[in-house]
């Protein structure tokens, strides 16, 4: 069996729900029940109000591209280049950001502020949340409908 190109996280820690929500197609984040603050990466208590009443809840799964960089150098021969490292911002809360890869998009078409949607990459029990252009999916649907 080929070794996975991606380093797959352990499911033992606080972030288990984050890495497994993709099995249901859900991007799960920790949400403070006391002050409604979304927390990423997960913490044992709310960094805003210091309460411990946190629950994992699904987000909308959409985002906008906050920043990115394109990697052209094959640091790992098992990871095809170029690939895009992105920081995406979720609409649930100002400043709620995830570091991820932008996939299913030509490097030339990447733009700050572009609308994205989550797309999970499965490795056994782990579903890594990646993001792809929301518009390309809509465009394909429109083209096939017309």
Q: What contacts 73, CB < 8 A, 6 or more positions away?
A: 81
Q: Which is nearer to Zn ion, 54 or 116 (CB)?
A: 54
Per-residue CA distances from 43 to 48, 53, 86 (Å): 11, 11, 22
Q: Which is nearer to Zn ion, 38 or 83 (CB)?
A: 38
Task: Return the HEC string of 65-126.
Answer: EEEEEEECCCCCCCCCCCEEEEEEECCCCCCCEEEEEECCCCHHHCCCCCEEEEEEEEECCE
Residues 38-57, one symbol each (x = binds Zn ion by CB under 5 A, - = not), give --------x-xx-x------
Q: Which is nearer to Zn ion, 14 or 112 (CB)?
A: 14
Q: How many residues bind Zn ion (CB under 5 A)?
A: 8
Does the protein bind Zn ion through residue 37 (CB under 5 A)?
yes
Instruction: Provide the minimum distance between the beta carbon of 25 and Zn ion in the complex, in angstroms, as a whole number.
Output: 27
Q: Which is nearer to Zn ion, 30 or 101 (CB)?
A: 30
Among 32, 39, 63, 114, binds Zn ion (CB under 5 A): 32
Give contact residues for Zn ion (rule: CB under 5 A).
32, 34-35, 37, 46, 48-49, 51
């Amino acid at each position: 069996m080929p070794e996975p190109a991606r380093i797959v996280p352990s499911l033992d820690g606080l972030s288990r729900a984050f890495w497994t929500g993709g099995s249901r197609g859900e991007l799960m984040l920790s949400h403070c029940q006391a002050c409604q603050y979304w927390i990423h990466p997960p913490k044992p208590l709310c960094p805003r109000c210091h309460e411990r009443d946190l629950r994992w809840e699904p987000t909308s799964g959409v985002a906008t591209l906050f920043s990115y960089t394109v990697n052209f150098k094959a640091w790992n021969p098992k990871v095809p280049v170029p690939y895009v490292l992105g920081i995406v911002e979720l609409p649930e809360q100002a400043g709620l950001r995830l570091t991820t890869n932008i996939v299913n998009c030509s490097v030339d078409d990447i733009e700050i502020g572009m609308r994205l949607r989550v797309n999970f990459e499965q490795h056994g029990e782990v579903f890594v949340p990646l993001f792809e252009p929301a518009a390309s999916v809509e465009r394909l649907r429109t083209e096939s409908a017309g």
